[in-house]
Amino acid sequence: MFAHTPKPPYYAVIFTSLKIEEDRGYSAMSEKMVTLVQKQEGFLGFESARENLGITVSYWRDETSILAWKAVLAHKQAQERGKDTWYSNYKIRIAKVERDYEK
């Protein structure tokens, strides 16, 4: 399902990852983060796909909202666990959406 975003401009955080095969609590933490992020000021929605390579794009009203989410303690703990336990590699990109199109 596509995220319902407002007319641009808005921001996208693109998280690309390679996850290890074992779950090790990943699914439970993922559900917790989805619930938590939806309560964040400035959060607009997200889209995610995972096979071997995972890509999650979250959409935000502004950069201040992105930074506030990055600073949430539970999110910081999840990030650390991801670095130490779940991901063999990852990359985060932040982009300003200037235009969007849909069918």
pLDDT tens-place string over residues 28-60? 999 999 999 999 999 999 999 988 899 999 999
Q: Which residue has the higher pLDDT, 26 or 59?
A: 59
How confident is the model at residue 1, as a pLDDT?
84
Residue 50 counted as domain residue: yes
The domain that holds 65 is classified in CATH as: 3.30.70.100
pLDDT tens-place string over residues 72-86? 999 999 999 999 999
Residue 3 counted as domain residue: no
Residue 2 counted as domain residue: no
Mean pLDDT for 83-90 is 94
Residue 88 belongs to domain spanning: 10-97
Q: Strand 87-97 relative to strand 10-19: parallel, antiparallel, unpaired?
A: antiparallel
DSSP letter, residue 22: S
Residue 80 counted as domain residue: yes
How confident is the model at residue 103, as a pLDDT?
86
Q: Which residues of 29-56 are buried (b: 16+ CB within 10 A; e: fewer)?
A: bbeebeeebeebebbbbbeeeeeeeeeb
